[in-house]
Amino acid sequence: MMRLKMPYGAELPQSVYRAITHVYKLFAPTPWTDVTFENGWSNHGSPYGDIQYRRAGDMVQIRGGGDGTLGVTAFTLPYGFRPPYTLELAGVSESNHAIVYIYDDGQVEPQGSGGTSEFHFNYIFATDDDFPFVTR
């Protein structure tokens, strides 16, 4: 059986190394991915970052700022990044209180007062979708 050298002369069996690598791939964050906008939505630009998402374990993160029409789908999260049920989360829209719905089919729909708005995304939620494996 092949063994891998560790600090201080210790050896780690390759089977253990493979198991650790597998667990790491399950829980290490996926790379930040830019969303694909719908219905005229776009990134707001400076000082806010682009709207992106990633996953670490069973937790999904969304970040960034965008501009668009409230009450329509801004973007849709792909399978592997969707909540198990519809989420209704508090949000900020041009310094006003707002709501974002994240539906179980991945649609993300900001809502608030006014027709179009700058909207800030900073959300973390759990998913029960199968993990989208990435090659590292």
Contact between 56 and 77 (Cβ < 8 Å): no
pTM of the predicted structure, to 2 decimals: 0.78
In this structure, the answer to whether residues 56 and 122 fall within a common structural domain is yes
Residues of the chain short of pLDDT 50, as ranges, are 1, 134-136
Contact between 110 and 74 (Cβ < 8 Å): yes
In this structure, the answer to whether residues 38 and 79 fall within a common structural domain is yes
Structural domain includes residue 12: yes
| Domain limits for position 8 | 1-29
pLDDT in tens, 63-82: 999 999 989 999 999 999 99
> For the stretch 53-75, what's the b/e string if a residue is b when 16 or more beta carbons lie within 10 angstroms of its beta carbon?
bebeeeebbbbbbbbbebeebbb
Structural domain includes residue 132: no
The CATH number of the domain holding residue 57 is: 2.60.40.1830
The count of structural domains within the chain is: 2
Please give the pLDDT value at position 63: 96
In this structure, the answer to whether residues 51 and 99 fall within a common structural domain is yes
Please give the pLDDT value at position 87: 97
Structural domain includes residue 48: yes
Structural domain includes residue 133: no
In this structure, the answer to whether residues 90 and 121 fall within a common structural domain is yes
